[in-house]
Amino acid sequence: MHMSDTVIQNHEPNYLEYQGRYKGIFAWIFSTDHKRIGLLYLYSMLVLFSAAAILGLLMKIELIAPGKTIMDAQTYNSFFTLHGITMIFLIVVPGLPAVFGNFFLPLMIGAKDVAFPKLNLLSWWIYIAGAAIVLSSQFFGDGPPDTGWTFYAPYSFRTGTNMLPAVTGAFILGFSSIATGINFIVTMHRMRAPGMTWMKMPLFPWALYGTSWIQVLATPIVGITLLMIVLERTLQIGFFDPALGGDPILYQHLFWIYSHPAVYIMILPAMGVISEIIPTFARKTIFGYKAIVVSTLAIAFVGYFVWGHHMFTSGMSGTALYTFSILTFLVAIPSAIKIFNWVATLHKASIDIQTPFLWALCFLFVFMIGGLSGMVLGALSANVHLHDTAFVVAHFHFIVFGGTGYAFFGALHYWYPKMFGRMYDKGWANIGLAVFFTGFNTLYLPMFYLGMIGMPRRYYDYVEEFHGPNIVSSFGAMLMISGLVIIITNLVRSARKGEIAEADPWKGKTLEWTVASPPPLENFAEIPVVTKRPYDYE
């Protein structure tokens, strides 16, 4: 059925060839086409990601031996700050919605674009402006910020470094996030193809729906909080600094009221991607579609109430401590439901093992380790021992890099033929994944152990007892970066040189596979009428 449709559409210019009002690079940076905007984000993020990954590698090289290896303490402090700010605020928070949400949401629900294409382009511009301001903190003023990505009070007022641009940039980035969220919510409410009821909508759009609500409702809180830092630093208003009559724990509350829901902004779309990849390669309807939808919304909702688990050692009241601990354990339930559903989908399936599927499998493996280590940290007693150690760093790299990062690369390998009309070299893609996956585990697994035996995070130095595992971990970092180089080189090269891809190389059943690869400018010559559920393989 799909093939014949695409042949008819082939004479239309696809979105890559299309010539509009502007030429050259302007045809991209002023394009309101959701697909081009998706690629704008993709390219911006690949550049930023490569830079931040290199900072990470340099930190790991510093930690290969005790004492000063390649940088001094202050440089190390500014490296983990810039690494964290870039990875969190510029990559994993906007990441999947901005790149794949933009590109595929309209295609998957049978629409020609998002509801507000101009607002969409504005979001990208705000993103670039925010990124530029954040990065400017490195190059002028009193030296790069050194607070870590969390900007904790009162240090963020006392440090002599260049805080204002970093905080202001993060504030501006929030608007991009909110605008994208509103855009997606309206798109899903108003522009689903005829016949696509809510319960016939694919799971990646569903995940974006939950994510968008968090973006709209939680981002303003961090916005105000960052603004309060600016006011406190410039006008000496005492919100958080005890010396001015403020409360530093209030800062932690406000910061995590946003930043915990923000971890669900990162992970929900990742779960959505996995829910697309698994049924396609299992050739089976997803097990428990409704349970996945409900757990998506439940995660989005309960995720608002657990922020205090980042503050167990801050001196909060006992009542708050155990309330947050209980709520934290609750939020693991919907995540576990999803794991069960994915595994149940694989049960007795005739699986087609391809690169995107391998990424999804690796996701399941590392995400489980990340989630379970979260439970360890959610327990009050264990947390007192493990807070601010390498264990926490291992936890969130397993879950953020292992979750969102793996899903991002999985999505890239899954939708690549649709986006570029070409296929990457599958052999190299698998080798890259194998090297990356081995490196990833060699890098982060020892950090669980290091945290348990007491190695604190955010130090450039350590005592001799920690040396062995650190050597292993630093070696893992080099291996992992080599894997990334293979993966990215293969993808970049294949965009020009890869084999021409068919419209539906994986035999997917969702609407994006019914249009040509790359999709025509307006996606659908005729808006499809949906009669079936999204993963109909029977």
What residues line the site for another protein (CB under 8 A)?
190, 217, 249, 253, 257, 304-305, 308, 315-320, 323-324
Smaller CB separation from another protein, 323 or 482: 323
Q: Which residue is nearest to Cu ion (CB)?
A: 260
Rounded CA separation 159/173 (Å): 23
CB of 455 to ligand HEM, least distance (A): 14
The residue length of the chain stands at: 538
Given another protein, Cu ion, ligand HEM, none, residue 266, with its beta carbon under 5 to 8 Å by kind, binds: ligand HEM
**Which partner, ligand HEM, another protein, Cu ion, none, binds residue 328 by CB below 5 to 8 Å per kind?**
ligand HEM
**Which does residue 332 bind out of ligand HEM, Cu ion, another protein, none, counting CB within 5 to 8 angstroms by kind?**
ligand HEM
Task: State the binding string over 240-269 for Cu ion (x if CB under 5 A, else -).
Answer: --------------------x---------
Nearer to another protein, 59 or 191 (CB): 191
Q: Which two tokens stand for residue 418?
A: 């649709």
64 binds ligand HEM (CB under 6 A): no
Q: In the bound complex, what is the minimum distance in angstroms from residue 90's beta carbon to ligand HEM?
A: 15
Confirm or reject binding of residue 395 to Cu ion (CB under 5 A).
no
User: Residue from 375, 492, 525, 529 that binds ligand HEM (CB under 6 A)?
Assistant: 375
Q: How far apart are CA 250 and CA 6, in angstroms?
A: 57
Number of C-alpha atoms within 13 angstroms, CB side, residue 76? 17
Instruction: For residue 434, give the 3-state DSSP assignment.
Output: helix
Half-sphere exposure of 418 (CA within 13 A, CB side): 23
Question: Nearest Cα to 333, choosing from 363, 365, 374, 364?
Answer: 374
Given a contact cutoff of 8 angstroms between Cβ atoms, the answer to whether 406 and 487 are in contact is no
The distance between the two most distant Cα atoms of the chain, rounded to a whole number of Å, is 72
Residues 239-268, mask of contacts with ligand HEM (x by CB under 6 A): ------------------------x--xx-
| Binding-site partner at residue 375 among ligand HEM, Cu ion, another protein, none, CB < 5 to 8 Å by type | ligand HEM
Helix 34-62 × helix 73-85 angle, to 10°: 160
Provide the mask over 308-337, with x wherever binding to ligand HEM is found by CB under 6 A and - wherever it is not.
-xx-----------------x--xx--x--
My answer on whether omega of the bond before 165 falls inside 30° of 0, hence cis, is no
Cα angle vertex 97, ends 91, 100, to 5°? 100
CB contact set of 364 (below 8 Å; sequence gap of 6+) = 274, 339, 342, 343
**Closest separation in Å from C-beta 395 to another protein:** 23
Q: Which is nearer to another protein, 191 or 481 (CB)?
A: 191
Shortest Cβ distance from residue 28 to another protein (Å)?
31
> In the bound complex, what is the minimum distance in angstroms from residue 83's beta carbon to ligand HEM?
11
Nearest C-alpha neighbor of 309 from the set 227, 219, 395: 395
Q: Which is nearer to another protein, 212 or 494 (CB)?
A: 212
Supply the minimum distance, in Å, between the C-beta of residue 381 and another protein: 19
Q: Which whole-number Å values give the CA distances from 202 to 94, 109, 197, 273, 526, in the listed order? A: 21, 8, 10, 10, 20
Pick from Cu ion, another protein, ligand HEM, none: which does 308 bind, CB < 5 to 8 A by kind? another protein
Rounded (10°) angle between helices 34-62 and 406-420? 140
Q: Toward ligand HEM, which CB reaches closer, 219 or 517?
A: 219
**First CA to last CA distance, the chain:** 15
> Residue 109 carries which side chain, given as an amino acid letter?
I
Q: Which residue shows structure tokens 């007693």?
A: 381
Q: Locate tokens 């299309």: which residue?
A: 18
Other C-beta atoms lying within 10 Å of the C-beta of residue 67 = 9
For ligand HEM (CB under 6 A), the number of binding residues is 24
- Nearest residue (CB) to ligand HEM, 321 versus 491: 321
State the binding partner of 318 from ligand HEM, another protein, Cu ion, none, CB within 5 to 8 A by kind. Answer: another protein
- Pure H helices in 421-466: 426-452
Residue closer to another protein by CB (options 253, 338) is: 253
Least distance in angstroms from the C-beta of 38 to ligand HEM? 21
Q: Which of 246, 308, 403, 498 binds ligand HEM (CB under 6 A)?
A: 403
Please state the closest distance from residue 283 (CB atom) to another protein, in A.
36
Residue 387 interacting with Cu ion (CB under 5 A): no
Residues whose CB falls within 8 Å of the CB of residue 82, separated by 6 or more in sequence, listed in order = 52, 55, 138, 144, 145
Q: Could you tell me which of 119, 90, 88 has the C-alpha nearest to residue 102? A: 119
Task: With contacts defined by CB under 6 A, name the span among 171-179, 369-377, 466-474, 488-496 that binds ligand HEM.
Answer: 369-377
Residues that bind Cu ion (CB under 5 A): 260
